[in-house]
């Protein structure tokens, strides 16, 4: 079935970087954006950015400009999100989700299982 499977939990020290992967299956990878959304403990959903998996163009929330890098490997149907200069308040559950490129109004219809990133000295 259509799914997004994310990489496993990470523990990082402040100032380090983390790279999370999101592998897609059972659909045409390049027809959909991959969005990255995070959720701090007990908090709401926070959109981080998207990558157009067809063109490779990315866009991120202002808050993450210069700190987040989104890439993809179309040969492996996998998207990646790297967040640098980690701080303790980056501790969160990070989700990838897909959204149809042609019609943004269709929402984010498939989500990964989430990847826990813990930032601690």
Partner 1 sequence: SYELTQPPSVSVSPGQTASISCFGDKLGDKAACWYQQKPGQSPLLVIYYDTQRPSGIPERFSGSNSGNTATLTISGTQAMDEADYYCQAWVGSTVVFGGGTKLTVL
Residues that bind partner 1 (CB under 8 A): 35, 37, 44-47, 50, 59, 61-62, 95, 97, 104-109, 111-114
Give the residue with the Cβ less far from partner 1, 9 or 16.
9
Backbone angles phi, psi at 105, to 5 degrees: -65, -10
Give the residue with the Cβ less far from partner 1, 73 or 109.
109
Q: How far is the CB of 106 from partner 1 (least distance, A)?
A: 5
Give the residue with the Cβ less far from partner 1, 5 or 11.
5
Q: How far is the CB of 14 from partner 1 (least distance, A)?
A: 26
């Amino acid at each position: 079935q259509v799914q997004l499977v994310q990489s496993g939990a990470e523990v990082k020290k402040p100032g380090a970087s983390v790279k999370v992967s999101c592998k897609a299956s059972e659909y045409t990878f390049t027809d959909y954006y991959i969005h990255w959304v995070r959720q701090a403990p007990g908090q709401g959903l926070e959109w981080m950015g998207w990558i157009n998996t067809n063109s490779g163009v990315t866009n991120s929330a202002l808050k993450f400009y210069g700190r987040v890098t989104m890439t993809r490997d179309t040969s492996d149907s996998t998207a990646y999100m790297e967040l640098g200069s980690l701080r303790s308040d980056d501790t969160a559950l990070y989700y990838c989700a897909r959204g149809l490129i042609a019609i943004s109004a269709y929402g984010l219809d498939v989500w990964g299982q989430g990847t826990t990133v813990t930032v601690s000295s």
